[in-house]
Structure 1
Amino acid sequence: MKPCVDSRLFGELANGEPVMEFTLDNGQGMLLSVLDYGCIIRSWRVLARHGAPVDFVLGFDTLLDYERDTAYFGAVVGRFANRIGGGRYQSDGNHVQLTQNEGGNHLHGGRRGFHKQCWQGHASGDNELARISMCRLSRDGEEGYPGNLLVMVTYELTASGELRCCYQAIPDQPTPVSISQHSYFNLAGEGDILGHELCVDAARYLPVGPELLPTGQLQEVDGGPFDFRLRRRIGNALAEAHPQLALAHGYDHNFVLARGPGPQASLADPASGRRMDIYTNCPGLQFYSGNYLDGTLGGKGRDLTRHAGLCLEPQHFPDAPNQPGFPDAICRPGAPYSANTRYVIDRWR
């Protein structure tokens, strides 16, 4: 069977706007379901030879759950992923004030960022992969951002079991852009991720202050609780790091990725033998260990409790518009934004 794409009406938003679900089938027993609301990856399933299908990502059953969601399950976040201190920055001599939606700070594009918008989707398939491309125009002033920004998000599911995510944006004014995918992964499809093992190709990370904003320093991981250069069990790492992670109740930190051939990160579930390798051209990777999941949310037949899943978000450095020592995250006319990430699953069949 060759890769293909199916679609169905998933539901209607409170304002009556319809939302479609596109299911990408790689023809080899792997299915990726995507909503044109928030470019949300609702499920990433493999049809196991024995037993029930395994879903690698956390998610909800209804559109209402996604409309109410404040934890960004499976969504694309932007214009700027992560935090901008005070919700403000200065660019080319201009002071810009963004929406403050996490205390006094700006988080993941604001209250109605990319994750709360409907996108225009176009699906296609060929002998090698199934594809869904979604685009929208983020207009001047949306969540306080300057200029119009034409954005396209493309997901491709290959016959070999690889998910490719491509993010492209064209501005008509200088504006911060850092687009990322906020799926919560659990390669076992059940339980928590404390037994998972993580490897990140990063010799430095960004220490944070009380509001989880980076201090501006780049600190060596140096064999301590942020050293994931060799694969480490996440539960053990959390226990070791506890005194340093008291404010976040776990990891919610950005790692400075090495520029080697990759993978830049690798997540493994020893119990099932599955591994997910991540390749990206982004300078940073946010590791969030699902610290604030408290069981009040549920979906797909399970309660979403602490550490039920984790996020690995390739992106620009948090608060980059306010940190002159960080890579420039301002996208300018004539220099389109482009970021690519590949998720490769091993031993899924």
Structure 2
Amino acid sequence: MEITEKEVLNKWIEYTLTNDNGIQVSLLNYGGILTKLVVPDREGKLENIVLGYQNFEDYEQDSNYFGAIIGRVAGRIENASFELDGKTYQLKTNEGNHHLHGGESAFHQVIWDAMSFQNDDEAGVKLSHTGSDDAGGYPGRADVTVTYTLNNKNELLLDYEATTTEKTILTLTNHTYFNLTGNLKDTIENHQVSMNSEQFLELDEALIPTGNCLDVAGTPFDFREGNRLAAGMHSSHQQNTIAGGGYDHYFLFNENEVPHISISEPTSGRMLDITTNQPGVVMYTSNSLDKALQLSDGNSRKHAGVCFETQASPASLKYHQLPSIILGANDTYKKQTCFTFHSK
């Protein structure tokens, strides 16, 4: 195992973790942004499988949240307000009338305190951040740590932990865009995805969940036995159309099953397995990605990457049948998502 670090902008440090199999993970202390992830294909060729900017400065005004830690609340909060114990809290709007991914100057746009570590079998970076009281309109001060760990089993673990001084709301995720073709050689249309989910949340025209949990059976949202992402990108299903030609939906994992997602790409042979103790995942297929962005492996385009945002849904603030995102003052938020890389 090896870990290196270099300064890329004023006070920005990029850490690169390398395991004994040649897998490399690069991340910034700014936003906890995962900038590059290099893994082998079936022939052993090492290539980057995540989207990131060619110029680090572009992360400062990034509306796509490439590779970033998202919080305090991942996802959209309708009308930028919520009620907690009879009190209404108003947040800042940053997507029409709504509040998206923690708002402006959220976790994706702060410099985190960073501490690296390594031993014979793993290397990682522990990121810590303390938000101010009432930051962005959220009640309480949140103390958050996110730890990235790469090991010799070709696992990348993201461990999230948080406490708060007051009862508040919180659900964290990572917003990495994956493309297993390597070095952005093609879109994600032929990526094969399977996940143990029987229901997803219906969206309205503003991409806000309606509270209806729709069955995946007989729809392009059925990934229980595996399905190509192209199934939703070329679909006339109203929900795929609303999302801009693809997916931007919250899938609820089946109860009493270990949440599991598998992704494979036939040309490279690369495979990615995702396990988590989160109750669901937003799968987003970069339906609105700007074509003009200069990425490390070429220009961006629609369907250039797919995000798997493991999290609870902020729709639970309105629809209480969904897993809650409320965090009590004496409680600890503790979640983990594991990405495992292999090929066939």
TM-score (norm 2): 0.95
| Distance (Å, rounded) in 2 between the aligned partners of 1:48 and 1:314 | 25
TM-aligned CA distance change 1:345 to 1:131, over 3 Å: same
**What is the CA deviation profile of residues 174-200 of structure 1, one whole-angstrom value per residue up to 9, with x for unaligned ones?**
111100000000011221000111112
Residue 4 of structure 1 aligns with an amino acid whose one-letter code is: E
**What is the CA deviation profile of residues 90-130 of structure 1, one whole-angstrom value per residue up to 9, with x for unaligned ones?**
00111101111110001000011100011000001011111
Give 1:274 shift.
Answer: 1.2
Residue 330 of structure 1 aligns with an amino acid whose one-letter code is: I
| Distance (Å, rounded) in 2 between the aligned partners of 1:213 and 1:344 | 31
Give 1:81 shift.
Answer: 0.2
| Distance (Å, rounded) in 1 between the aligned partners of 2:165 and 2:195 | 35
Give 1:50 shift.
Answer: 6.8
Pairing 1:277–2:273 present: yes
Partner of 2:307: 311
Residue 65 of structure 2 aligns with an amino acid whose one-letter code is: Y
- In structure 2, the residue corresponding to 1:152 is in which secondary structure? strand
Partner of 2:216: 221
**What is the CA deviation profile of residues 244-279 of structure 1, one whole-angstrom value per residue up to 9, with x for unaligned ones?**
322221210000012455452111101111110110
Gaps of 5+ in 2: none
- In structure 1, the residue corresponding to 2:209 is in which secondary structure? coil
**What is the CA deviation profile of residues 20-52 of structure 1, one whole-angstrom value per residue up to 9, with x for unaligned ones?**
001111122011001000000000013669796
Pairing 1:90–2:83 present: yes
| Distance (Å, rounded) in 2 between the aligned partners of 1:261 and 1:126 | 33
TM-score (norm 1): 0.94
Gaps of 5+ in 1: 13-17
Partner of 1:141: 134
Partner of 2:101: 108
Stretches of 4+ aligned residues off by more than 6 angstroms: 48-52
Pairing 1:198–2:193 present: yes
Residue 318 of structure 1 aligns with an amino acid whose one-letter code is: P
Give 1:53 shift.
Answer: 3.3
Q: What is the correspondence of 1:52-131 to structure 2 with a 5 Å cutoff?
A: 53-131=46-124
Partner of 1:15: none
Contact 1:214/1:318, CA 8 A, preserved across alignment = no
| Distance (Å, rounded) in 1 between the aligned partners of 2:201 and 2:41 | 39
Partner of 1:22: 15
| Distance (Å, rounded) in 2 between the aligned partners of 1:257 and 1:50 | 33
Partner of 1:238: 233
Residue 286 of structure 2 aligns with an amino acid whose one-letter code is: G
Give 1:333 shift.
Answer: 1.3
Contact 1:4/1:124, CA 8 A, preserved across alignment = no
TM-aligned CA distance change 1:109 to 1:293, over 3 Å: same
Contact 1:84/1:320, CA 8 A, preserved across alignment = no
Contact 1:263/1:277, CA 8 A, preserved across alignment = no
Give 1:63 shift.
Answer: 2.2
Pairing 1:299–2:295 present: yes
| Distance (Å, rounded) in 2 between the aligned partners of 1:82 and 1:120 | 24
Q: What is the correspondence of 1:150-229 to structure 2 with a 5 Å cutoff?
A: 150-189=143-182, 190=184, 191-229=186-224
Q: What is the correspondence of 1:330-341 to structure 2 with a 5 Å cutoff?
A: 330-341=326-337
Give 1:235 shift.
Answer: 1.0
- In structure 1, the residue corresponding to 2:212 is in which secondary structure? coil
TM-aligned CA distance change 1:307 to 1:49, over 3 Å: closer
Partner of 1:252: 248
| Aligned match for 2:338, one of 318, 322, 342 | 342
| Distance (Å, rounded) in 2 between the aligned partners of 1:204 and 1:243 | 16
Name the % identity. Answer: 34
| Distance (Å, rounded) in 2 between the aligned partners of 1:123 and 1:223 | 47
TM-aligned CA distance change 1:263 to 1:277, over 3 Å: farther
Contact 1:290/1:306, CA 8 A, preserved across alignment = yes
- In structure 2, the residue corresponding to 1:67 is in which secondary structure? helix
Give 1:241 shift.
Answer: 4.6
- Of 91-100 and 315-324, more deviation after overlay is shown by 315-324
In angstroms, what is the RMSD of aligned CA positions?
1.6
TM-aligned CA distance change 1:50 to 1:279, over 3 Å: closer
- In structure 1, the residue corresponding to 2:178 is in which secondary structure? coil
- In structure 2, the residue corresponding to 1:215 is in which secondary structure? strand
Contact 2:121/2:152, CA 8 A, preserved across alignment = yes
Pairing 1:43–2:15 present: no
Contact 1:204/1:220, CA 8 A, preserved across alignment = yes
Contact 1:206/1:217, CA 8 A, preserved across alignment = yes
Pairing 1:264–2:260 present: yes
| Distance (Å, rounded) in 1 between the aligned partners of 2:302 and 2:237 | 15
